Amino acid sequence: MLPIYNVLTPSEVTQIHEAALKVLATVGIAVEHPKAQKALSEAGAELSSDGQRVFLNHRTVETLLARAPKEFLCAAPDPVNDMIMKLGGTYTRQGGGPFSFYDMRNQTSRPLTLADAVNSVKLINALPHINAPSTVTPQDVPVATYDIRAVKTVLENTRKHFWALTTGSKNLRYELEMASVVAGGRDNLNKRPILSGIFCVIAPLKFPADEIDRLILYGDYGINVMTPLTILMGGSAPYTMAGCMTQMTAEFLASVCLCQSLCPGLGQWYYTLFQYLDMKTGLSLTHSPELMVLAAAGAQMSAFYGLPSLANTLLSGDCQPHQVIFHYGINILMGLINGITYQVGAGSLECGNLYSHQSLVIIDEILDYLKAFRNGISITPETLAVEDIAEQADKGEYLSSRLTMKYLRQEKHHRPDLLNCPTLSNWLKDPKTIVDRAEDKVQRILSAAPQSSVLSEEVQRELAIIMEAAENELG
């Protein structure tokens, strides 16, 4: 395994940490929730005289940070797909929330449907390097309950852990009730959480009331949570890269303090979601060398705290296939060599607005390639092959050697599926691109996938009852 490449020196890590602590102690955080204010106060934090801000001192941060687990389970309906989140792990996840379906071959888009969501889950079941699906935003279901419908769709089809978006705490109650049914009861869900949740900080340093209501619900059900640190350089965060790291780290520590004061022991990630405000065009960009460095620095800060990291390194801000594939390759490589635990955004383009089946299978192939690179070289007296060279030197070939026979399957070498290297004359006879081959693979997987739900008819009926109740209440 290749060593982790760090972009910060130990001294720089300490400087960022101390700057973040100073922000929390002097600027504080806006917490719009009396129960959260009370929990933080009992842990040693101080409230402003007007009750609008909470100031977190060094001791309080240290105490609450110590409660966050260094390792936690993200369970799957099929235990073979369980993920153990900890430093050194390497996992990937589909991007959440896209609302348009994109065909990379024809470069056309249309509204994303519930059927597209079903197929995305079936694809991910079959792709070994995409470890988890996410809920998307289907456009052919009622808006008020689309997120509940999306969770139901994933539950009915996934064999893997998944991440669920939600519009608010009222909807989340139905989503968690559905997950409890599939898990075999609330206690079982608490022991084996088959989904992950989200509560948000609004940059800079503000936690709205409903976000905290959601956090409390997740804690009641034992659902691990991610808090996306949505830094917009020059917009909602300082323009300097160091300033972004200070604010992001302060918001991360604040989210840990909130979570661990209300829900001790709940699993959390250091989740970076950087964007850059282009001062020339006014556009928000999700890919640049600076953002890659910041994501790497975020992974290093997560290692400093001993917690798993999460970054949107699989998300492309573009829609042009040739540029998108470049972004995927360079981002995934960066994530692997910088030790990011959970790379997310697979299948999403144009800053998460678009979803593509072809993107999923292309990313799966790139991951297979780059994981082989990251593995490095296994050096032992036997693999150094001195005896094998002596035996085969006169023969001039190694196809028949004992070492080749032994390690042909033990030392697995990358075997491309979508990437190929024909001569020009051969390629011109059948000039398919990698996107064409990706579409062929999509169709092969979907044609072989089971057409029915992975759940029993009884469980499906229970989910349908919950869905009907949600639609009756929420519209």
Residue 165 near residue 96, CB atoms below 8 Å: yes
Nearest to 130 by CA among 326, 346, 451: 346
The answer on pLDDT for 457 being more than 90 is: yes
**pLDDT confidence tier of residue 149, bands split at 50, 70 and 90:** very high
Q: How far is CA 469 from the centre of its chain?
A: 31
Place of tokens 């503000």: 206
Q: CA 217 to CA 391: how far, in whole Å?
A: 66
Greatest Cα pair distance in the chain: 86
What is the pLDDT averaged over residues 289-305?
91
Residue 336 near residue 86, CB atoms below 8 Å: no
**pLDDT confidence tier of residue 236, bands split at 50, 70 and 90:** confident
Q: CA 100 to CA 34: how far, in whole Å?
A: 39
Residue 355 near residue 136, CB atoms below 8 Å: yes
Give the start-to-end residue ranges of the domains of the chain: 1-376+414-475
**pLDDT confidence tier of residue 213, bands split at 50, 70 and 90:** very high
* Side chain identity at residue 228, one-letter code: P
DSSP label at 351? G
- Whole-number pLDDT of residue 416: 86
CATH fold group of domain 1-376+414-475: TIM Barrel (3.20.20)
What is the pLDDT averaged over residues 248-258?
96
Place of tokens 């800079």: 204
Residue 254 near residue 201, CB atoms below 8 Å: yes
Place of tokens 């790291």: 245
DSSP secondary structure string for all residues of 169-191: HHHHHHHHHHHHHHHTSHHHHHH
What is the pLDDT averaged over residues 348-356?
90
* Tens-digit pLDDT profile for residues 187-212: 999 999 999 999 999 889 999 999 99
Q: CA 305 to CA 66: how far, in whole Å?
A: 9
Length of the chain: 475
Q: CA distances (Å), 304 to each of 241, 270, 307, 351, in order?
A: 19, 11, 8, 29
DSSP label at 202? B
Q: What is the mean pLDDT of the chain?
A: 93
* Tens-digit pLDDT profile for residues 105-134: 999 999 999 999 999 999 999 999 999 999
The answer on pLDDT for 274 being more than 80 is: no
Percent pLDDT > 90 in the chain is 74
Nearest to 78 by CA among 153, 16, 9, 161: 161
Residue 171 near residue 463, CB atoms below 8 Å: no
Place of tokens 């910041």: 294
Structure tokens at 182: 């599939």
* Side chain identity at residue 159, one-letter code: R
* Tens-digit pLDDT profile for residues 389-409: 998 888 888 888 988 888 888
Place of tokens 């594939």: 325
Is the entire prediction scored with pTM above 0.85?
Answer: yes
- Whole-number pLDDT of residue 311: 92
The answer on pLDDT for 308 being more than 80 is: yes
Buried b (16+ CB within 10 A) or exposed e, 79-106: eebbbebebebbbbbbbbbbbbbbebee
Nearest to 177 by CA among 155, 162, 161: 155
* Side chain identity at residue 67, one-letter code: R
- Whole-number pLDDT of residue 86: 97
DSSP label at 350? G
Nearest to 217 by CA among 171, 157, 269: 171
Q: First CA to last CA across the chain, in angstroms?
A: 53
- Whole-number pLDDT of residue 375: 86
- Whole-number pLDDT of residue 42: 96
DSSP label at 96? P
* Tens-digit pLDDT profile for residues 25-77: 999 999 989 999 999 999 999 999 888 899 999 999 999 999 999 999 999 99
Q: CA 434 to CA 280: how far, in whole Å?
A: 34
* Tens-digit pLDDT profile for residues 150-167: 999 999 999 999 999 999
3-state secondary structure of 285: strand
